Amino acid sequence: MPKLNENYLNLKESYLFAEIAHRVNDYAKANPDKKIIRLGIGDVTRPIGSEMISALHEGVDAMASSETFKGYGPEQGYDFLRDAVVSYYKENGVSINADEVFVSDGAKSDTGNITDLFDKDNVILIPDPVYPVYVDTNIMNGRNITYIDANAENNFLPMPDKNVHADIIYICSPNNPTGAAYNHEQLKEWVDYALANDAIILYDSAYECFITDETLPRSIFAIEGAKKCAIEFCSLSKTAGFTGTRCGYTIVPKDLKFTVSTGEEMSLNAMWNRRQTTKFNGVSYIVQKGAAAVFSKEGMAQCKENIAYYQENAKIIADCLGKKGIRYFGGVNSPYIWFECPNGMESWDFFDYLLKNAQVVGTPGAGFGNNGKNFFRLTAFGNRENTMEAMERINKLF
């Protein structure tokens, strides 16, 4: 009999979205005449821009003739895409090298797979509430997690505690689910803390494209010293509507080196390269063609149009809550609006209340961690009409 990875027994059942679907279905069945508006989804809805679509078609056509056919590509991604990512960073004032860019099928896989590089024995800091992938992938590997509280008192932006040592720190900014985004000084504190502790920051910047405040950093590498202590995960899922097309990229700086128990120095860049070339055969050429178009002038302009559409939705939601005097976070620099449930309600009770009285579906904060217990997430990824109607209903409700 195989000995199974019993760490899986320690995973909490991921019932959040299943439970939401279940409650919504029950309500819909009992109230077939009611129009339900879903503002709970964390998935984009706008179609991909024509520049990217043309490039995807070109990629398909290349497969049809022997002159242009592509078989296995480089595991790390084609140079044309790695170079495009380097240029994109440069436009944002950050200098990285192409051999520090690893193209992948998305940030979820990379944030999960990165755990391959670390021993079981580490002090791991993860904020609560959080994107569940960081927690579950560490539990699968049998690691203990130290949670750091993100709450209204710290504006959902927890800061390092200099009296507590950590080895690995997860940061997602702008944050899912809270919408909160760190500024330069705050991130600098984290970088300084990581350097002082010889720790590494695993930085998820999947929502950097939603940053409108130009003073906010869009990459951890905008912070001095970060190349010695951080890996950055990014994705075209939210930037370009690639949630179904699948493409992301991870930056592993060559400066990221640690002396290990043998006295040797190990490079995280070399390790990740070894890991990827061993376990991953690259993203399809077709998708990489589409991805490269995101970084063209026209392509980026089209992506920004979609992002602006979602940002306007976010503003509509935030304005409505603001007028009602409801305390919210996010809504700017983020497609997420995270607010305190009115009258001290708990998030699942508020979910039911909102469904029954306004037929609006959101996501209970409890699903992202203990500190989300009295909070609720709405997303800007719906269409304009529905977003406006949902806010009119909420406006009448309180």
Q: Which positions lie near ligand PLP, rule CB under 6 A?
A: 42, 106-108, 131, 172, 176, 204, 206, 235, 237-238, 243, 248
CB closer to ligand PLP, 107 vs 300: 107
Q: Of 176, 116, 99, which is closest to residue 330 (Cα–Cα)?
A: 176
| Residue with smaller CB distance to ligand PLP, 130 or 361 | 130
First to last CA, the chain: 59
d(CA 263, CA 254): 19
Tell the smallest beta-carbon distance from residue 247 to ligand PLP (Å).
8
Least distance (Å) from ligand PLP to the CB of residue 31?
31
CB of 67 vs ligand PLP, minimal distance in Å: 33
Q: Please report, for residues 10, 286, 292, the alpha-carbon distance to residue 64 in angstroms, rounded to integers and kept in the order given.
A: 48, 12, 20
Which residue's CB is nearer to ligand PLP, number 46 or number 324?
Answer: 46
Q: Judged by CB, which is closer to ligand PLP: 54, or 243?
A: 243
> Is 212 within 8 Å of 71 (Cβ atoms)?
no
Q: In sequence order, what are the residues at sequence separation of 6 or more whose Cβ sits closer than 8 angstroms to the Cβ of residue 9?
A: none
Long-range contacts of 274-277 (CB under 8 A, 24+ apart): 275/113, 275/116, 275/117, 276/75, 276/76, 276/102, 276/104, 277/75, 277/76
Structure tokens belonging to residue 81: 């895409």
The distance of closest approach from Cβ of residue 178 to ligand PLP in the complex, given in angstroms and rounded to an integer, is 11
Residue 233, SS3? strand
Query: Six-digit token pair at 327?
Result: 């305390």
Q: Which is nearer to ligand PLP, 44 or 355 (CB)?
A: 44
Ramachandran category for residue 77: left, alpha or beta (phi over 0 → left; psi -120 to 50 → alpha): left
CA angle at 329 for the pair 327 and 331, rounded to the nearest 5°: 115
Tokens standing for 235? 């994705």
Nearer to ligand PLP, 55 or 206 (CB): 206
Assigned token pair, 356: 């029954």
User: What's the sign of the alpha-carbon dihedral 334, 340, 346, 348?
Assistant: negative
How deeply is 268 buried, as exposed, middle or buried, from its count of CB atoms within 10 A (0-12, 13-18, 19+)?
buried
Question: Please, which residue, 151 or 334, has the CB nearer to ligand PLP?
Answer: 334
Q: Which residue, 84 or 358, is less far from ligand PLP as judged by CB?
A: 84
Q: Which is nearer to ligand PLP, 126 or 320 (CB)?
A: 126
Least distance in angstroms from the C-beta of 246 to ligand PLP: 7
Residue of closest CB approach to ligand PLP: 106
Cβ–Cβ under 8 Å, residues 224 and 278? no
| Smallest separation, CB 96 to ligand PLP (Å) | 19
Instruction: Give the CA dihedral 308, 309, 315, 317, nearest 10 degrees.
Output: -150
Cβ proximity to ligand PLP, 172 vs 223, nearer residue: 172
Q: CA–CA distance from 58 to each of 1, 8, 53, 65 (Å)?
A: 49, 43, 9, 12
Can you state the percent helix, strand and coil of the chain, rounding each to 5?
Answer: 45, 15, 40
Instruction: Give the nearest distance from C-beta 236 to ligand PLP in angstroms.
Output: 7
For the bound state, the minimum distance from the C-beta of residue 108 to ligand PLP, rounded and expressed in Å, comes to 3
Q: How far is the CB of 204 from ligand PLP (least distance, A)?
A: 5
Q: How far is the CB of 132 from ligand PLP (least distance, A)?
A: 9
